[in-house]
Amino acid sequence: MMLFRKFVLVVFLIAPFNSYSDENIEQSKFFVENLGKQVVEKVSNVNLSENERHVNFRNLYLNSFDNYYISRFVLGRYWKRLDSDMRKQFVKSFNNYIVATYAPKFKGWQGTFKAVDSLIENNYYNVKMNVLNEDGPTLKLMWKIYLDKNKNFKILDVNIDGVSMLVTQRAEFMSVIKNNPKGVIGLIEAMDAKTSG
């Protein structure tokens, strides 16, 4: 009898967790699909001014991506060598760089975002998505996201046809730092030059 009661207790404790996880799985798919729709509506629209496009993209990026984690990742081992002020400067310059680099690329872009699956691995949701592009082949994306303490989804990385954007960006930055006599400061100056041009 005691064993049966323990079994019932375990089932009772697990069942709500599973249903909650299932709900989150569906919500993770909705999150990335909705983000795609907002990009089309608020960034791709050809009737927007370039300033509106940049502002809208910035808001989507800062609200949807864990930009602090991404900033640390792309800077790799150099992050630990920076003091607090330099870290803040790097995050600010990097965010501006992301907006200046990617916002213009979406102008006039049309596509359909369809999340096809979501898998949980180590508390992260890996959401598989197909992006149907009217002017090109279907892109296969994998979004790595998590729920923050406020129960909002945040994006850590996106793989496009198997290529991690974070890993690609870090490799690019490591090359710049290695070849610039000013190191990280040189990288920051290069990013600021791009965003002020």
Cα angle 139, 140, 146 (rounded to 5 degrees) comes to: 130
**Alpha carbons 30 and 56: distance in angstroms, whole number:** 20
Would you list the domain boundaries of the chain? 2-196
Task: Provide CB contacts within 8 A for 74, sequence distance 6+.
Answer: 94, 166, 169, 170, 173
Instruction: Tell which residue, 192, 196, 191, 158, has the closest CA to residue 172.
Output: 191
Backbone angles phi, psi at 177, to 5 degrees: -60, -45
CA distance 34 to 83: 37
Amino acid at 158: V
pLDDT of residue 6: 37
**Which CATH architecture group holds 2-196?**
Roll (3.10)
Rounded Cα–Cα distance for residues 102 and 43 (Å): 10
Beta bridge partners of 126: 119, 144
The interaxial angle of helices 84-102 and 184-196, nearest 10 deg, is 40
Alpha carbons 130 and 133: distance in angstroms, whole number: 9
Strand partners, 144: 126, 157
Return per-residue pLDDT of the chain as tens, 197 residues.
Answer: 444 343 333 333 333 333 346 789 999 999 999 999 999 999 999 999 999 999 999 999 999 999 999 999 999 999 999 999 999 999 999 999 999 999 999 999 888 899 999 999 988 999 999 998 777 788 899 999 999 999 999 999 999 999 999 999 999 999 999 999 999 999 999 999 999 86
- The DSSP line for 111-129 is EEEEEEEEEEETTEEEEEE
Is residue 113 within 8 Å of 160, Cβ to Cβ? no
